[in-house]
Amino acid sequence: MTEVAFHFNAPDKLGYVCRFARKALRHGARLAILGSPELLGHLSTRLWSVAPTEFLAHARQGEAEHIMAASPIVLLEQLDGTPHHEVLLNLSEQVPQGFERFARVVEVVGAEDEQDRHLARQRWRHYASMGLAIVRHDLVLKD
């Protein structure tokens, strides 16, 4: 059964995603990140420049199959064709169709964006209605 976790109150959502991705890679996980083309474009730039001496290699959907398969992080506009099924980091507004193929789904929710919080509540209710246990991580409490 898929494990679902919500990470609430991210002050800089894309910055948090970069830190999460770095930590996931250090633990040997392969990561699929789902979002809009515009958001993924911004995220791609951030992943290539996490720190002056560090970057997080990734591929975008539509690149050659062998590149997607070799990349530890794949950026997706839709779940079709992803080579990874370990961790799905959902940055889209809806519950992704086919999320059940992943061992773990992580939802990141911003601290200030009320629309983002509202949509996250809807996704939470959807996952809960499917009988999935949800883990809640309040990022404010971690500071």
Q: Are 56 and 73 within 8 A, CB to CB?
A: yes
Helix (H, G, I), strand (E, B) or coil at 138: strand
Tokens of 33: 């990140």
pTM above 0.95, yes or no: no
Q: Could you give the CA distance from residue 59 to residue 35 in angstroms, rounded to a whole number?
A: 14
- pLDDT, tens digit, 9 for 90 and up, residues 12-36: 999 999 999 999 999 999 999 999 9
Q: Are 82 and 100 within 8 A, CB to CB?
A: no
- pLDDT, tens digit, 9 for 90 and up, residues 31-77: 999 999 999 999 998 888 776 667 788 899 989 999 999 999 999 99
Q: Is the per-residue pLDDT at 143 higher than 70?
A: no
Round the CA-based radius of gyration of the chain to a whole number and report it.
Answer: 14
Q: Could you give the CA distance from residue 81 to residue 65 in angstroms, rounded to a whole number?
A: 9
Rounded to the nearest integer, the mean pLDDT of the chain is 92
At residue 43, what are phi and psi to the nearest 5 degrees? -65, -40
Q: What pLDDT does 52 receive?
A: 63
CA distance to 6, 106, 110, per residue, from 114 (Å): 16, 19, 8
Which residues does residue 105 pair with via DSSP β-bridges, in sequence order?
A: 4, 88
Helix (H, G, I), strand (E, B) or coil at 8: strand
